Structure 1
Amino acid sequence: MTQDLPGLSADETDRVARLLEEAATLPPAAYILDDIFERETERMFRKSWLPLARVDQVAKPGDFLAMDLLGRPVMIVHGQDGEIRVMSRTCLHRAAQVAEGNGNRKLFTCPYHAWSYDTAGQLLRAPLLEGAEDFSEPDCRLPQVRTEIWQGFILANFDPDAAPFAPQVTTFETYFEKFRLVDMAVVRTLAYASDWNWKVLVENFMEAYQHIGVHQETLEHSYHARLPRARQ
């Protein structure tokens, strides 16, 4: 028996886990309540490896790509030392953003008070603070997000205790070998306004029911909507 969740009873969540013939879909509250989405974000997304970009998008030292990740402003930076990192792009002083969009820089200088950080996130200069008590530039660095590169994908994880990504997918290495993912490059990016709960998209790809409608001539031939009949 599962426990009650904000907006969901234990009975509602139990019904979802039953065998196919008895199971029910999630109730509407699972798709619209902010409390549920916040819990999913904290327990799932911020503890999972998330693909952010490809290595070729930050190919040269100094290349950066800024974005928001789960409500947190971050940037991917190809450091002058050759390392690719994901880090905060919020200045440690008054929380202004030190980078927007993409480009190439040796320094990330805050537009508010001109604090300057290198490509590893280390604070190099804080104007007019020379001699300030209990303050030292070497002690200040933009918060780093755990970063891993797999087959050319740059992944990040907010959970410092999460298991490394690569060992979890070793069984897929042979399958993906023929696709040569590591040699691929981004040619064009498309952005879609997705004004719906993430579970709607996941559930759509988990099932093949829609293949009998919109995909009769394509996907239905390979991924059948109908369950195969039991052998006699």
Structure 2
Amino acid sequence: MATARSLAALPSAGAPRSGPRRAGAWPPRVVAAAAEPEHARRLVAEFDPAVPLEAAVTPPSGWYTDADFLRLEIDRVFLRGWQAVGHIWQVENPHDFFTGRLGNVEFVICRDANGNLNAFHNVCRHHASLLACGSGQKTCFQCPYHGWTYGLDGTLLKATRISGIKNFNKNDFGLVPVKVATWGPFVLARFDDESTEGDVGDVVGDEWLGSASKLLSTNGIDTSLPHICRREYIINCNWKVFCDNYLDGGYHIPYAHGALASDI
């Protein structure tokens, strides 16, 4: 959750603007990062993956403080590739749904009446209002702003007070889909167009985890652990600081968590 919140501070490239607009203007979509600024490219170039661990140094401070570098990370790290966004128990039954946010992208995952798992940008195609919040069960998504109503398969069911508008075809204004899949107990989503179609267990697992997917699949994936709840924490730091703290091998525990260290 710290990752999602720290990324969400950036403004959306496709955010709705104030004032009147035609129906369907600014459809939600993931916009690729603009041309990389020269200084962001220099920051990337400072990383040498060939340096052995014993010769490694602390990453440049710009990796943690530069806004352009963060935008580049969102595009290259988080929006290109599968991301774990939920648990299969959250959408176990028809009409189940849950929402989330990754960077500047709001999404909703749902299971329709036919049992199909779907994912969409959680944005009304009319004036870009959020459609759904939290999680639960719904038979449809109704925009709280003007009442446009969508099925859980993404189709536009009703567009209020739209009669008389020329060249309006409601079939053209369904929710914008997001790729969704499951692997083990995880619900995965991705927001680019580079995924290979194929068997979920093989292709998606390989794209998400690489060679580790075969190792985990061989030993079996435990899907029996139930989903209890989701908790969010707002942590005022760059997302990598949180990861660095978790992955330092317990280096900080004797000094920052003395009571815990005494019990280990």
TM-score (norm 1): 0.80
Larger RCO (CA under 8 A, 6+ residues apart): 2
User: Counterpart of 2:89?
Assistant: 56
Runs of 4+ more than 4 Å apart: 7-11, 214-219
Instruction: Say yes or no: does 1:196 pair with 2:196.
Output: no
* CA contact 1:58–1:78 (8 Å) conserved in 2: yes
Total equivalences in the alignment: 213
Q: What is the alpha-carbon root mean square deviation over aligned residues?
A: 2.6
1:207-218 superposed matches below 5 A: 207-208=248-249, 210=251, 213=254, 214=257
User: Counterpart of 1:36?
Assistant: 69
Q: How big is each residue's C-alpha offset from its partner over 1:89-118, in whole Å with a ceiling of 9 and x where there is no partner?
A: 110011111111122111111122211100
* CA contact 1:7–1:33 (8 Å) conserved in 2: no
SS at match of 1:171: helix
Aligned letter for 1:13? Answer: F
Instruction: Say yes or no: does 1:166 pair with 2:205.
Output: yes
TM-score (norm 2): 0.71
Query: Which of residues 135, 142, 149 in structure 1 aligns to 2:175?
Result: 142
Q: Which has the larger radius of gyration?
A: 1
In 2 relative to 1, CA 6–58 (structure 1 residues): closer, same or farther, beyond 3 Å?
same
Unpaired runs of 5+ residues, structure 2, are: 1-37, 197-202
Percent of paired sites with the same residue? 28
Which has the higher mean CA deviation after the structures are superposed, 199-208 or 118-127? 199-208
Structure 1 residue 17, shift from structure 2 partner: 4.7
Structure 1 residue 133, shift from structure 2 partner: 2.0
Q: How big is each residue's C-alpha offset from its partner over 1:29-72, in whole Å with a ceiling of 9 and x where there is no partner?
A: 11111111100110111002111111111222111112222221
Aligned letter for 2:69? Answer: I
User: Counterpart of 1:13?
Assistant: 47
Q: How big is each residue's C-alpha offset from its partner over 1:131-171, in whole Å with a ceiling of 9 and x where there is no partner?
A: 53221112221111110101121000011113442244223
SS at match of 1:210: coil
Structure 1 residue 119, shift from structure 2 partner: 0.4
SS at match of 2:68: helix
